[in-house]
């Protein structure tokens, strides 16, 4: 079964609003990463949060990690039309060396 589950599957908001996406996972992890994908092609790494971290910021991005609940959230503040994309969480498992397990993604649409 899928390790990462994103919620919601799709999100549509107005430009300038904040967007929050959630990710839940099942097994213990070393780290959790978020990626963005435009137009169904290559993914771009956004941020990595380690299992001993609770929150991390990068520009307009804020990621939280709750290992007790096996969940993470990605917050994009002051959204822009260019943020329209699919967002995936990926977990680096303790048992699994260098592999990442990706979720199904959240499709984010920013309306001008």
Partner 1 sequence: GAGVSQSPSNKVTEKGKDVELRCDPISGHTALYWYRQSLGQGLEFLIYFQGNSAPDKSGLPSDRFSAERTGGSVSTLTIQRTQQEDSAVYLCASSLPTSGGAGEQFFGPGTRLTVL
Using rule CB under 8 A, residue 63 touches partner 1: no
In angstroms, what is the minimal distance from the CB of 68 to partner 1? 19
Extended strands (E) in 1-112: 5-7, 10-14, 19-24, 29-37, 43-50, 55-58, 61-66, 71-76, 85-93, 100-102, 106-111
Where in 7-46 is the site for partner 1 (CB under 8 A)?
A: 29-31, 33, 35, 40-45
Q: Which of 13, 61, 75, 100 binds partner 1 (CB under 8 A)?
A: 100
Q: Which is nearer to partner 1, 18 or 94 (CB)?
A: 94
Neighbours of 31 (CB within 10 A): 17
In angstroms, what is the minimal distance from the CB of 16 to partner 1? 27
* Residues that bind partner 1 in the complex, under the rule CB under 8 A: 2, 4, 29-31, 33, 35, 40-45, 48, 50, 88, 90, 92-94, 96-105
């Amino acid at each position: 079964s899928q390790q990462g589950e994103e919620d919601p599957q799709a999100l549509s908001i107005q430009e300038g609003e904040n967007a929050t996406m959630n990710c839940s996972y099942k097994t213990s992890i070393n780290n959790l990463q978020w990626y963005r994908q435009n137009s169904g092609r290559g993914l771009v790494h956004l941020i990595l949060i380690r299992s001993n971290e609770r929150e991390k910021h990068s520009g307009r991005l804020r990621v939280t990690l709750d290992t007790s609940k096996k969940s993470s959230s990605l917050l994009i503040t002051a959204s822009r039309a260019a943020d329209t994309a699919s967002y995936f969480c990926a977990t680096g498992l303790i048992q699994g060396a260098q592999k990442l397990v990706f979720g199904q993604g959240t499709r984010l649409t920013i309306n001008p």
